[in-house]
Amino acid sequence: MGMLEILRNAWKIPDLKRKLIFTVCLLLVYRVGAHIPVPGLNPAEFQRLVEQGGQLFGFFDIVSGGAFKLATIFAMSITPYINSSIIMQLLTVAIPKLEQLAKEGEEGRKIIAQYTRYGTVLLAFIQAVGLYFGIKGAVVNTGVLSFITITFTFTAGTAFLMWLGEQITEHGIGNGISLMIFAGIVSNGPSGFAALVNIGKVGMTEGNFLIALVKIIAIIVVFLAMIAAVVWVTQAERRIPVQYAKRVVGRKVYGGQSTHIPIKVNMAGVIPIIFAMSIMMFPSQIISFFFADANNWFVNFFRNSTGSAWYAIVYSILIMFFTFFYTMIVFNPIELANNMKKNGGFIPGIRPGKPTSDYIARVLNRVTWFGALFLAVVTVLPIILQNVSGLANVWFGSTSVLILVGVALDTIKQMESQMLMRHYKGFLE
């Protein structure tokens, strides 16, 4: 079933239609808020500082749908919530009390979600304070009142977006946070198209229209190829066959079914890229804020990051490392093997228990290697493309494409499952 057909069928169901309209309306609220300026800031000067801020500011601007560059109330977007969620996931594994809460069902998850909200507000305030000192040149009247107004406005904007996302998740279609990031990235499409047109205009002016046309075609081809590759890898999985033994209870025979364990190639999603980006971008921003006049190999390494081959190599290594790290956190072969043994399941040709967990771990490592290499390549490729084409802050970079594809597929799957549930309900009634 195609995406358009799913949307058309969902529109015919009154309940799903209401959810779709509710989701679209809240996304419109988000886009309107992305154009409300923060009081006390000079937008033109702020935009100039953002353009000088390098890749990190460029990434913030892409995710926020241009709100960051415009110095609006949603400038920080939902990134503090993402960071808080990641930190809580890691702490859930590291702290036994939180791990126990996660296993307690809905009530435990609600408590963890509340902790995530508190962490979001705290991180948002810290980020707002750092942002204030980073863009102090754009502040109209520096002082305590100005500091409180700007930092609290940025923090409140992020908190409101978090609430908006939760409302979409609860009463709408899809994951609200992901859909807002999706909407922000899509809103950059016209500016990306304008940049391509500008390349053609510059080529015509300089008499190199053929070279400019080749650049434009190459960018479009790479963009489409990247989407196709991301869709293929996102959907790809390695299926390990599982057989359940037959059990005779009285005159009835139970079990004997054949199933499989799906191991996704890109199990970690976009999280390794976000982790690696945070680690690589943090030093560059510290340098740009506090050591702008320094001149040594370390400073130059991070200052000229986009043109450095070593930067791309280190970036790729970090992405691969975090891919394995996060996959190990979310997928436990030992726990899976124990659950299979309890339920009478086994992998054909593999003994239950430790041999099964070792076999699953080997398969997982091989599959993760491919996923990690793919993420590294797809991340570094836009950097190379940016240097070749001269197109700054490529809006369709790896992170953007992964988010767009992932959110679109997840939303469509949710629609399909809800329509399927309604079919079953009608059948039972």
**What tokens does 65 get?**
């749908």
174: left (phi over 0), alpha (psi -120 to 50) or beta: left
Q: Which long-range contacts (CB under 8 A, 24 or more apart) does 216-221 make?
A: 218/385, 218/389, 219/385, 219/389, 219/391, 220/196
Helix pair angle (176-186, 144-171), 10° resolution: 110
Question: 129 Cβ partners below 8 Å, 6+ apart?
Answer: 151
Across 313-393, the runs of DSSP E, i.e. the strands, are: 345-346
* Torsional sign, CA 395, 300, 387, 51: positive
| Spatial separation of the C-alpha atoms in residues 421 and 429, rounded to whole Å | 12
Whether the Cβ atoms of residue 168 and residue 11 lie closer than 8 Å to each other: no
Per-residue pLDDT of the chain (429 residues; tens, 9 = 90+): 566 777 777 777 788 888 889 999 999 999 888 888 888 887 777 777 776 655 556 666 666 666 777 788 888 888 788 788 878 877 887 788 887 887 777 788 888 889 999 999 998 898 888 778 777 777 877 788 888 888 999 999 999 999 998 999 888 888 888 888 888 878 777 776 777 777 777 767 766 777 777 777 877 787 788 788 888 888 888 888 888 776 655 666 555 677 888 888 888 877 787 777 767 766 665 665 555 555 656 666 665 555 566 777 888 888 888 888 888 877 888 888 888 888 778 888 888 888 888 999 999 999 999 989 988 888 777 666 666 655 554 545 566 777 778 778 778 877 877 777 766 544 444
Domains of the chain: 1-184 (1.10.3370.10)
250: left (phi over 0), alpha (psi -120 to 50) or beta: left
Helix (H) or strand (E) holding 263: strand 258-264
Give the pLDDT of residue 164. 92
Question: 402 Cβ partners below 8 Å, 6+ apart?
Answer: 230, 234, 269, 270, 273, 378
| Spatial separation of the C-alpha atoms in residues 57 and 10, rounded to whole Å | 38
Give the pLDDT of residue 295. 62
Three-state DSSP state, 252: strand
| Spatial separation of the C-alpha atoms in residues 354 and 16, rounded to whole Å | 46
Give the pLDDT of residue 302. 60
Residue whose structure tokens are 């980073």: 134
Whether the Cβ atoms of residue 99 and residue 126 lie closer than 8 Å to each other: no
Question: 50 Cβ partners below 8 Å, 6+ apart?
Answer: 57, 58, 61, 68, 69, 135
